[in-house]
Structure formats: structure tokens, C-alpha cells
A and B are shown apart, each in its own frame.
Chain A
Amino acid sequence: MKSLQKIDIVARDLSDEVQKSTYLSSKAKTEKRMAILQKDFPEANRLREIAGEIKQHTLEHLDQYLAQAEASLKANGAHVHFANDAESANATILKIMQENGAKRMVKSKSMVTEEIHLLPYLEKHGMEVVETDLGEFIIQIDDDHPSHIVTPIIHKNRKDIAKSFEREGLGDYNDDPETITRRARAFLRQKYLDADVGLTGGNFVSAESGRVSLVTNEGNARFSVAANRIHIAVVGIEKIIPKDRDFSLFLNLIARSATGQQLTVYNQFINGPRSPGQPHGPEQMHVVFLDNRRTEVLASECREILRCIRCGACLNVCPIFRQAGGHAYRSVYPGPVGAVLSPLLAGNRFPELADLPKASSLCGACNEVCPVNIPIPDLLLRLRDKAKREKATDAMKGTPSLGLWATLCSQPAMWKTALSMGHTMNYIPTELIPHPSARAWQHNRKLPKFQGGEFRKWFRNRPPSSK
């Protein structure tokens, strides 16, 4: 079908198995989130409004807070780096490794390193990098891409994983999830101990103390840091929050929104190398603050998207994500948040992803579940407008031209006449209308029976109000 958009094609061709596992897992997460928020907080909605205001406040004072975070980290003996783009961030990390004679890195899960393609870059420069999050480890051995921000292998089932483990020499075929987990544990143990560098992302950074918070469940981020002499954290500049006190709000919200937990199993707060007398852990801590077009987004009319704390709740609730899966978004960030963020982060490649904001029915569920209250449907509309203004042709696929309709709607006299003739529509076989836009609509839709045209008459003749 010529009129289908890329995301429709992926959704159509998705295997039943992948579609089913994406759908079931997303649905379960959405329900768990709802249940725990309602149970735990009488004012759950107010909490996410406050969280949204704190993030918006921070973004609108980012120059102050970023400088404060930098100063706090330096005061605690951490090294702070800034990177304009992926190239610069990757080069900075490589340089830290080279200057310290480091060859091996263990990596904990981080979307931002997916964004800058750190892993292939370091491998190209002769470094050994191992993903240690179970899901990301499986992505790495399969040479695949994550399809969800929180649950990267939502598109795989245990049989796929068992086959991959067998192929990689991690034991005979066994698709018991517990066995799979134990085998990964045993294999990755040695990797942590052999590595020189532990790399993490950062969920929040407190400007007040410089503390980088890591929100995890498996313990791999702890191990990556504890067993190594160098810790590098790569963090987007939008991750700052003003004070340590704010952690209590955000940690409560991110755990419930992402996985339906009260708190994730591990929350780390790091702002420097290991303490005196501690035998394990890094002698150096490096924080790399990444821009990579975030300042462009900050200058745009979609800056609210920078509030995002990557919980994945909007993915889980989105009817499009549930049907199409994460890979359909052709970018690092899938789902509603990705439909906004990915085209913006693409810079002058915007037209290539300008169709993503169309992949929404604007039902508003993403906004309702968002723990930082991002008005995602509004942002999608702003981006649709941008696509139109920039004549991004891919984004227009499947959309009939509405010029005639617009003229009709803007001329009251014509509109009235058209309405009075509305009933004739019931007798015209619309699939025969030779207009291409009418045909495009008709392909997937049925025009309901016309029942209107009576409002004006009713309004004129209505009984007088009782007042």
C-alpha cells in the first residue's frame, strides 16, 4: 500500500509472537503502575504535577543548576567533562580509557550510550566492552537493538534467549528463566573483575550535592562501579534536579511508573571516588554531561519533553506502541516519548523521522500516566505542524489533502448549504468518489450514516429556558 506510513508497515509485518509479548507485557506494567499509585498515594496526580514543575523549573534555570552540579562534583574530587555531541562524548570516554591504560569496560544499562553509539565506537578503537544488564547483554550477543527503554528485550521470548545462550557457549539449550539468569550471573562475574572501567548512565543529578543517582534492580551497576578503578557516568544535561530532597519525589515516581515497585531494588547516589579506607571501588570518577541537541530542544517549542525521566510508562500505555513494538520507531527512543524526542534529536535529519508524531491517535493516555506530566499530545501536534511547515513529505503519507474541506469549513454560507444536502451522502457509494483523498480514507474506514443538519432548526425552535 503506497499510502501506508513506515510504522504501519512494521506493525503489519510484526510476527504474532512479538506482537503478543509486547502487548501483554505493556498491559501488565500499566495495570501494576495504576494499582500501586492509587494504593500508596491519596494525591498521586498532584505528585506528578509537582514533579513536572520541578523539572520544568530546572530546565528553565539550567545554566545555574548545571554549573552548580559541576562545581559540587569537582568539590568532591570527581572529574567533569562536557560533550557537544556523540562524537565528542565518545572521544572523551576513549581518551579517559587510553590515558589510564584501560582496555576493558563493563557497562550498565544506559539509553544515552545507545544514543551516541558508544559501544561500536569503543570496539572500533580496540576496547572490549560488555553489557551487564541481562536484557542488554542479550541484545549485545544477538547484535540487536533494545525495543523498550526499561525492558529492552520485550520483543524476545525465552526460547529466543535460550538459543542465543546455546550459540554463545553459555551452556546447553535451556529456556528456564532462572537458569538463563544464573548463567548470565556466572559469566558476567569474571567480566566485572577483569575490567578496568565501569560505565553507567545517570537517572538524576542533584545540583546541590552533585550526586548522580542510578536507579536499577539487578545489581550490575553496583558491580560495575564497585569492582573497578574508574567510574564513568554519561548523563544528558537535562537530568539535573535542584536538591537532594527532590530525590524522594522522583525515586518514588520512577519506580512506580516504570515497574510498579515502591522503590527499585538499588538506588545509588554517587558524587566522587571511593572513600578513604574503602578497599573496593573507583579511584577516579568522571561525569560526562552530554548535549547532543538537547539545547536545541530547549530552545524549541517542545522543551517540555526534556522533563522525561525515561520510565517507559507512556510506551506501556500507548495503543500504537502495543501494536507496533519499539523497533517500529526506527530510533533509540520508542513510543510516545520517542515520537517527540527522536525527530527533535535528529537535527537536520528531522524529515526522516517526521512521520513518528503522526503515529498517535492523540488519545492522551501518555500524558495521563506521565510522572512528570509532559503534555505529549500537544507536543505531537506541534511536531506535525513543524513537519508540514518543513514539507517533510514522508510524514504526509496516508493523509489526504484537506484543502477542499478547509474552504468548506471556513465559509459559513457554503457550510450551511452543504449541510442541508448532507442526507444525499447516504445514497452516494463513497468508494466510487474519484477523489484520491476520499479513496485513501475509504480504504480503511467506513463513512457513518449522515444524521446531522438539524441543529440550527432545533436551536431556533427550542423551548424558552425556565429561568
Chain B
Amino acid sequence: MSNDRDSIFSEIKKALDPLPERTPYPQWDDSMTVCHAHPEFNSAKELFAHKLAEASGRYFDSVQILAQFLREEGNTFGYCDPELASLFEGLDGISFETEYDLAKVDTYQFGITTGSTGIAESGTIMLKDGETSARLGALAPWVHVAVIRQEDIVPTIGDAISRFGDDPSVIFCTGPSKTADVEGILIQGVHGPGVQVALVV
């Protein structure tokens, strides 16, 4: 409410005016927040694979091996971003739809969407709203496959933040959905995917 706005700003001013001095914004280096607690790798892609596995995510760089993984787990029907469909067409025993049907929210076993960026230092997959064909396709199925181009894997969280652009809803996904609310016991797959996959192409 507009009255509330005025009174909040006037109260803030009243609170701050008497301060003899104000704390300056501190100097800090971007490299300070980068985690280095990992073995040396030759490329951001290899570190990404390592950290993704540490976060209980699954890393693939072959569509065939991914398809085999999906079959083994019995996740053979799903949703796929129409722009990525050509990658997955004709795979034995795997079928999908490219138009997201809300009535099938619990029928889709996997969802394949575009991952905009991969973050090597944390094994994080970054989803941008403008590049995600259907938000629920990346969220509701048990398995989410984010397809990431190798050149979109960046070293640090800071690098990923600088790629936000003007997208209205950016999401970092680091491993499968999880909870430890019940006696601190870790359970994967609460409301979001129980299996988080990155397919790097």
C-alpha cells in the first residue's frame, strides 16, 4: 500500500540519519568464493562431471548410454523439448511427446529440456526460463535430463551469474531434489526429480 511505502522509507531515513558514519561496501575478489577442494582436471567439462556425481547427479555424454540408463530404470516414456527431439528420435524402447500435456504430469517418466549453462565448480545445471520449453517438463518427471552444450560449461558460480541476462526466472539445479526433514535422513526425490541428469553434447 502506498501509505505504507512512504512510512517505511521515512522510518528508514529516521533510523539512518543519526548514524555518524556508514559502512562502505567491502572490496572482495571473485576468486575468494570459488571452491578448490577437488582433484585437478584438464577441463571444465571433467570437473563438472566430477562435481555433478558428488551432488548425486548423473553425467552422460552419449545419447545411447543415456537411453540404456533410462531403459534399465524403466523410465521409457516422457516429454522432450521439440528442439531437442532429433537427438532422441528412433531410440529403441524410448518414446516421448513434444507437446507437454498437463493431464500426463504423473505419466511422463522423464523430461528432456535445454540446460543453458553448466557450472563446473559445483556440478550445477542452470536453467533459463526463456530456453526451457516447458517448466513442468524440467520439474515434474522422476528423471530430468538437461541437455548442455560443452561450450556452455563455465568454471564458476560467478561466471554463471554473469550469464543471467534479462531472463525473468533462472534456476540452479545441483543434484536431485532432496529432503532431510524426517530425522535428518536424506531422501532423494521429494517434489522435483529424483534423478538429475546432464547430457553434455
Q: Which residues of A are at the interface with B, using a C-beta cutoff of 8 A?
A: 21, 24-25, 28, 39-41, 43, 46-47, 50, 53-54, 56-57, 60-63, 66-67, 76-77, 81-84, 88, 92, 132-135, 138, 151-153, 157-158, 161, 177-178, 180-182, 184-185, 188-189, 192-193, 209, 211, 217-220, 222-223, 225-227, 237, 242, 244-245, 247-249, 251-252, 259, 261-281, 285, 289, 291, 295-296, 298-299, 303
Within 8 A of A (CB), among B149-175: 156-158, 161-162, 164, 166-175
From B9-17, B39-47, B60-68, B90-98, give the one contacting chain A: B9-17
Residues of B within 8 A of A88 (CB): 1, 4
CB distance from A292 to the nearest CB of B (A): 10
Report the bound CA distance from A247 to B162 in whole Å: 11
Interface centre among A40, A92, A182, A262 (most CB of B within 10 A): A262
Q: Are the CB atoms of B171 and A267 closer together than 8 Å?
A: yes
Residues from chain A with a CB closer than 8 A to the CB of B172 are 251, 263, 266-268
List residues 56-112 of chain B with CB under 8 A from any CB of chain A. Answer: 100, 102, 105-106
Roughly how many angstroms separate A405 CA and B113 CA in the complex, as a whole number? Answer: 72
Which residues in B have their C-beta under 8 angstroms from that of A268?
A: 169-172
- Quick check: B174 and A134 within 8 Å, CB to CB? no
Residues on B facing A (Cβ under 8 Å): 1-2, 4-5, 7-9, 11-16, 19, 22-26, 28, 30, 32-33, 35-37, 55, 100, 102, 105-106, 122, 124, 129-130, 132, 134-136, 139-140, 156-158, 161-162, 164, 166-185, 187, 189-193
| A218 / chain B contacts, CB cutoff of 8 Å | 177-179, 190-192
**Extra inter-chain contacts (13) besides given A218-B179, A279-B134, CB under 8 Å:** A43-B32, A47-B33, A66-B9, A83-B1, A133-B181, A181-B190, A237-B8, A266-B171, A277-B130, A280-B100, A280-B134, A281-B129, A291-B4
Residue of B nearest to A83 (CB): B4
Cβ A84 vs Cβ B7 within 8 A: yes
Which partner residue on chain B sits nearest A225 by CB separation? B169
Give A259 to B129 CA distance when docked, in angstroms: 27
In the bound complex, do residue A226 and residue B16 qualify as a contact, i.e. CB atoms below 8 Å apart?
A: no
| Docked complex Cα distance between A19 and B136 (Å) | 41
Whether the Cβ atoms of A274 and B168 lie closer than 8 Å is: yes
Are B187 and A178 interface neighbours, CB within 8 A? Answer: yes
CB atoms of A41 and B22 under 8 A apart:
no
Tell me how far the C-beta of B76 lies from the nearest C-beta in chain A, rounded to whole angstroms.
21
Residue pair A185, B16 in contact (C-beta under 8 Å): no
Q: Which A residues lie within 8 Å of B2 (CB)?
A: 82
Chain A residue numbers with a CB within 8 Å of B169 are 225, 268-272, 274-275, 281
Whether B135 pairs with A60 at a CB distance below 8 angstroms is no
**Closest chain B CB from A154 CB (angstroms):** 8
Give B159's nearest chain A residue, CB to CB.
A248
Distance, CA A57 to CA B100, complexed state (A): 46
Assess the A222–B139 pair: CB atoms within 8 A.
yes
* Residues of chain B with a CB closer than 8 A to A182's CB: 189
**Are A222 and B32 CB-contacts (below 8 A) given A53-B26, A135-B181, A271-B168?**
no
Contact of B139 among A158, A223, A289 (CB under 8 A): A223
11 contacts between A and B (CB under 8 A): A81-B4, A83-B1, A83-B4, A134-B190, A177-B182, A180-B182, A220-B190, A223-B139, A237-B12, A270-B169, A277-B130
- The answer on a CB contact under 8 Å between B178 and A265 is yes
A83 to B5, CA, bound (A): 7
Specify which of B14, B105, B178 lies most central, judged by the most chain A CB atoms within 10 Å of its CB.
B178
Looking at the assembled complex, report how far the CB atom of A7 sits from the nearest CB atom of chain B, in whole angstroms. 24
B167 to chain A: which residues have CB within 8 Å? 275
| Cross-chain contact A265 with B23 (CB below 8 angstroms) | no
Q: Which of B134, B177, B183 contacts A21 (CB 8 A)?
A: B183
